[in-house]
Chain A
Amino acid sequence: MISKNLLSKDYIAKLSLYSDTLYIRSAQEFVLYYAKLFSFSESDLKKLELATEEAVLSTIENSFDEGEFGSFDIMVSYKPGAFVITIEDQGIPSDAERLEKQENAALGLLLMRNLADEFNMINLGRSGKKTELIKYLPETSIADLLTIEDKQKNVEAEQAVSTDAPVMRLVQLRDVSMLSRLAYRVYGYTYSSVFYYPEKIRELIENGLLTSAVSVNKEGEIVGNLSLFFEHKGAKVADSGAAMVDPRYRGHSIFKESKKFLTRYAHTNNMYGIFSEAVTIHSFTQQGNISLGAKETGIMLAYAGENLTFKKINDGKKSEQRQAVVLFYLKTSQEPFRTVYLNEKFYPVLKKIYDNLALDRKIILVPDHEKPDVLDTLSVINTAVKPDLNIAVIAVNQIGMDAVGLISRQLRELCLKKIETIYVEIPLGIPYAAVLSRELNKAGFMLSGIVPELRDGDILKMQYLNNVFVDPSKIVIASKLASELLTEIMKDYH
């Protein structure tokens, strides 16, 4: 057992090794020793062992020139619900061209992507880079816990319709198992994974990363949920999601009331706003958001996997393509004044979005012929890959002089790994953001939209589709503004 003290540290243990394949086995034994303390199954331990070899080999082959003798650090740590392996080196930045020349590289990357539950590649500028492999801790999923009788009840429940009005409150730790049962009842086993694992939900709540408005019937069952996900504890904005309504309780306006509940919560807690994603397989959610005062800020074309089903709305039919979602922002408290810088091409539609949002903003158009200054330093980016959705998000935390090249190389690596949709998030608070967004547009990134106040300021979101088919006629849009945005985005779709 590892003490809570150690679990809360940046890492549980750290090992420094020379960049030689001789030390791969040492790295593996090091990782396995600590992984075993978390009760992983033999199968998961094998995966961790192999993922470690691939990650270390990738570091040795790609971070140092041939003949160069460097070193790297390998660390194991804990974060809520997950065991994390981090490999950090101060070698050369990753280079997709070198990667393509390495016969093993593409195969090694493919294995890493599938053996870990998530992985991040973080460029630390002059401090080097790190690769994170994240493996969710073994938990019992709700599907394993449900008895045959429970599963039968789920089937019968879908036939019945309830008339009693549920009561709404904030989620408590004792609710986690019931939340997982609700997820299974509503989505079967097609939803993104964390909600099927009660202990994972518990950890997120305990660490201030999740809260929910839950609806409870007179039997004490949770029959509705809407959550707020925080990027970090104390964040001033949150992502609203995991909307679930028990099929028996449709027609009680649970979704709408949950939104109002969380809006009041956000206002009371001085949060600037709540953002959310509304599906486009139907218009109900978008209309619901608009009626509550939320504003459209973007469209993500190929966000949700095509195997997501909706029970009882479209008779459980699978969507025929990766689903687009409309991004919304609901302001809940006064935000700080900010200046944002937009490129010429995106300015018209983004200005409309900002006007509709009515945030305290000065919006500057940076003409294409202007060459604003850029920081005389290297960029800091954080790339998170979500294998269950097959998407990646490149978060630009600092725009440096190498930003365009760095992001382009990262894009190529992600495409080699067959990630289908890649997002880049650019802070809009400096003039050079307009240049970066223009250059990335030329490199194939399409506009997606903006996310207000995501990281101490607004973020421009752009999207790259890696051989993903999109038929705009299948995207159901509820408003004129979102329709204009979709038209603008599709101009760059080829």
Chain B
Amino acid sequence: MEIKTDQTDNYTKIAIIGRVDTVTAAQLEKAIQSVLENEPKSIIMDCTELDYISSSGLRVFLILQKKMVVKNARLSLFGLNPNIKEIFDISGFSTIFKIFPDLKKAINN
């Protein structure tokens, strides 16, 4: 798995490339922790190249969401492929996260 971070004035974009499973979830958690230290007002997760996520990965998303809510900051996701979207639907996470089809809509909202 690869993680790319891109910080702008208005948001921080975290792109996840590859798989988030039991083995790689800790790596994602560490990367997110590093971003959170800068106290971003908005994080946008780029999931266009995320091609697998398990419950371990969903848990990392959930922890991030909780931390953002506490800080009164925004968290958005975009670019989920149909398989990933289905996992979010099954787990009920689609109702917890703000999910958008592309970056532009995620920024504009």
Give residues in A with beta carbon < 8 Å to B.
21-22, 24-25, 43, 46, 49-50, 53-54, 57, 103-104, 107-108, 110-111, 114-115
- Docked Cα-Cα span, A43 to B81, in Å, equals 11
In the complex, what's the smallest C-beta–C-beta distance from A102 to chain B, in angstroms?
10
30 pairs of residues in contact across A and B, judged by CB atoms under 8 Å: A21-B23, A22-B23, A24-B21, A25-B21, A25-B23, A43-B82, A43-B83, A43-B86, A46-B52, A50-B52, A50-B54, A53-B21, A53-B54, A54-B54, A57-B54, A57-B55, A57-B56, A103-B59, A104-B56, A104-B59, A107-B58, A107-B59, A107-B91, A108-B54, A110-B91, A110-B92, A111-B54, A111-B87, A111-B90, A114-B90
- The one of A21, A22, A49, A108 in contact with B55, judged by C-beta atoms closer than 8 angstroms, is A108
B27 contacts the other chain (Cβ, under 8 Å)?
no
B-side residues, CB < 8 A to A, are 21-23, 52, 54-56, 58-59, 82-83, 86-87, 90-92
Whether the Cβ atoms of A24 and B52 lie closer than 8 Å is no
Residues of A within 8 A of B58 (CB): 107
Task: Please report whether the interface of chain A is mostly helix, strand, loop or mixed according to DSSP.
Answer: helix
Q: What distance in Å separates the Cβ of B56 from its nearest Cβ neighbour in chain A?
A: 6
Q: How far is the CA of A110 from the CA of B21 in the complex (A)?
A: 16
Question: Could you say which residues of chain B place their CB within 8 Å of the CB of A54?
Answer: 54-55
The reply to whether A115 and B56 contact each other, CB–CB distance below 8 Å, is no
Distance in angstroms between the alpha carbons of A50 and B91 in the assembled complex: 13
Chain A residues with CB under 8 Å of B54's CB are: 50, 53-54, 57, 108, 111
Give the distance in Å from the alpha carbon of A57 to the alpha carbon of B22 in the complex.
Answer: 8
Which B residues touch A22, using CB under 8 A? 23
Q: Is the CB of B22 within 8 A of A50?
A: no
Residues of B within 8 A of A111 (CB): 54-55, 87, 90-91
Known pairs A49-B52, A57-B55, A108-B55 / 4 extra A-B pairs, C-beta < 8 Å: A25-B21, A50-B52, A104-B55, A111-B55
Q: How far is the CA of A53 from the CA of B59 in the complex (A)?
A: 15
